[in-house]
Amino acid sequence: MIDHLSIGVTDLAKSKAFYEAALKPLGYQVKIEMENAICFGADGGDLWIGAMEPNKIHLAFSAKDRATVDEFYEAAMKAGGVDNGAPGLRPHYHENYYGAFVFDPDGSNIEAVCHKEA
């Protein structure tokens, strides 16, 4: 289990707006906001973004169902995300892998995934 993850961003305000919108369908919200860092969480401090050197990463969030994956994708795209894979099945991972991928403002690959049957 991961306790928390920190991502460096180049523009804290722009990244806050992106993650706030994109993660809302997944139940995340701003928990702590500091001058140079923001914590988003569903049940605690799960994701920190901060004004530090950005690194491109792949981060996958669990979604409760496929509709939530769709909502994540729509919210992320409206918030300025760049498409990296529209919602859909990815049977090359496994038969029920339903995911959506977007690039955040710094080019990190952010995903929402549901592993349950339809």
pLDDT digits (tens, 9 = 90+) for 64-112: 999 999 999 999 999 999 999 999 999 999 999 999 999 999 999 999 9
CA distance 48 to 25: 18
The residue length of the chain stands at 118
Domain boundaries along the sequence of the chain:
5-114
Give CA–CA dist 12/95, Å, rounded. Answer: 37
The verdict on domain 5-114 having CATH code 3.40.50.300 is no
Q: What is the pLDDT of residue 2?
A: 55
Between CA 7 and CA 88 the distance in angstroms is 26
User: What 3-state class would DSSP assign to 77?
Assistant: helix
pLDDT of residue 1: 39
User: Most confidently modeled of 5-9, 20-24, 39-43, 51-55?
Assistant: 20-24
Note the pLDDT of residue 44. 60
Strands (E), the chain: 5-9, 29-33, 37-41, 47-51, 58-62, 82-83, 88-89, 98-103, 109-114
Rounded Cα distance between 10 and 68, Å, is 28
